Amino acid sequence: MNRSDPWSGGPAEGAVWFDPPPRAAKVPGPPPSPARPPVALSVDGREVRVPAGATVLDACRVAGVETPTLCFHETLTPVNACRVCVVEVAGARTLVPACSRQAEAGMQVKTDTPRVRCSRKVVLELLASSVDLRIAPGMAETMARYGASPGRFGPPAPDAADRDAREAGHHHAPDGAAAETVAQPVKADNDCYVRDYSKCVLCYRCVEACGTDAQNTFAIAVAGRGFDARISTEWARPLTDSACVYCGNCVAVCPTGALMGKTEHDLRAAGAWDPERQTCTDTICPYCGVGCSLSLTVQDGRIVRAASPVGADITRGNLCIKGRFGWGHVQPGPRAGDAP
Ligand code: SF4
Ligand code: SF4
Ligand code: FES
C-alpha cells in the first residue's frame, strides 16, 4: 500500500510499503506423531503395562519390584557402567541392565533368580573390595540383601599415591595377599568441593553431568583403562587449573560421596556431621532471575549443604556456583575478610 511521507505528510514519491503478514504465535513444529500404544510385559509373573519407550526398570517399579541401581540417575543418560541392576529376560542369552533396556511387548522379566542374585552379589563384592563405600547411601543395605562379602578377596592393599600417573594399559600384577583398591589421597584444591576418588565407583554420573547431560563444560573425563581407569581433569591438573566452573552438578549426582561440598567434608572429618541435628528447607535462590529451587540443609543454625530438587522443572537438580556454594554471606559470625 502507498504510504505518506513521514516528514511532509504528503505521499512518499515512489515509495511502496507492504504490511507484513501477521507473525505466527510460535514457530510451527512438525505434525504430532501418532501415539504409540502402551507395552504389556510381565515382571516376576505380574502383568504390567508401561508407556512405549519405558525401560525394564520402569516396568519393575510399576510392578512394585525394588531393583538396586548405582550408575543410573533419573536426569542422566544411562551408561550401563555398574551392572548392579541386571535382570533375567526369557530368551535372552545374557542378563540385561534394567536401567537402559527398553521394555518390549510380551517380555518375561525375572528379577530375583539365583543367576540374578549371584551376579549382583559378585558385582557388589568386586566394587566394595576396591572402593570405600562406607558412606554411600543405601549401599550397606543392598550388600546385606545380596549377602555380599567383599572381605573374601583379602585385606585392602596399601593406598596407591601414584594412581594419577599410571599408564593406560599397564598391568600391575597383584601379589595375591591383598585386594588392590582405588585408594588415593583426597584432592582438596579449592574452597567449593572435595574429590575423594577412593570412594569412586566409576559410575560416570559426574562426567555426564559435567558434559552433554547438563553443564557442557567437559572439565572431567575418564582417564586410564581397566583397573587404572579414574576420573580426571586434563593431565590430572588441580581443579583450579581446569575448565571447571564449580557448578557442583557433579557433586549433586555422585552416589557414593566421592564428590562432596567442602563444608560437609570438613564437618565429617571433624566428626561433627550430624543428620539428627539437620533440617532441610526448600526455598528459591535469590541471586538471579532464573529463580532456581534450592533445598538448604541447616545444622546448628548454619547452612551446610545446598542442593536443588531433582523433580524441579527448570533445574532438574542442577545449579550454578552461586546457588550451590555462594551462601557464606548469610551465615552468622564473621566472614572471611571482615575486620577483626
Ligand atoms: S566421582 Fe562420583 S559421580 Fe563421578 S564417577 Fe566417581 S562415583 Fe561416579
Ligand atoms: S542457582 Fe544460579 S542460575 Fe539459579 S537462580 Fe541462583 S544464581 Fe541464578
Ligand atoms: S544401574 Fe543399571 S547398569 Fe548401573
Instruction: Give which of 123, 126, 119, 72 is closest to 100, Cα–Cα.
Output: 72
Lateral strand order in the sheet of 302-307 = 278-284, 293-299, 302-307
Which run of H or E residues covers position 195? strand 193-195
Examine the pLDDT at 155 and tell me if it is beyond 60. yes
Residue nearest to atom 4 of ligand 2 (CA): 292
Examine the pLDDT at 313 and tell me if it is beyond 90. no
Examine the pLDDT at 339 and tell me if it is beyond 60. no
CA 241 to centroid of ligand 3, rounded, Å: 32
Model confidence over 72-102: pLDDT tens digits? 999 999 999 999 999 999 999 999 999 999 9
Low-confidence winner among 20-34, 88-102, 103-117, 295-309 (lowest mean pLDDT): 20-34
Ligand 1 atom, smallest distance to 203 CA: 8
Low-confidence winner among 43-57, 143-157, 169-183 (lowest mean pLDDT): 169-183
Q: What is the DSSP letter of 176?
A: S
All domains of the chain in start order, with CATH:
37-155 (3.10.20.740), 156-164+179-266 (3.30.70.20), 274-333 (2.20.25.90)
CA 18 to centroid of ligand 1, rounded, Å: 60
Ligand 1 atom, smallest distance to 204 CA: 5
Distance, CA of 264 to CA of 266 (rounded, Å)? 6
| pLDDT value of position 29 | 82
Inter-CA distances, 330 with 26, 56, 211, 335, Å: 42, 45, 31, 9
Decide: 204 in ligand 1 pocket, CB within 6 A: yes
CA 147 to centroid of ligand 1, rounded, Å: 24
Query: Do residues 278 and 297 make contact, with C-beta atoms less than 8 angstroms apart?
Result: yes
Model confidence over 272-291: pLDDT tens digits? 999 999 999 999 999 999 99
Model confidence over 187-232: pLDDT tens digits? 999 999 999 999 999 999 999 999 999 999 999 999 988 888 999 9
Confidence of residue 1 (pLDDT cuts 50, 70, 90): very low
Distance, CA of 148 to CA of 190 (rounded, Å)? 36
* Residue whose grid cell is 536426569: 75
CA 165 to centroid of ligand 1, rounded, Å: 19
| pLDDT value of position 276 | 96
Confidence of residue 179 (pLDDT cuts 50, 70, 90): confident
Ligand 2 atom, smallest distance to 288 CA: 8
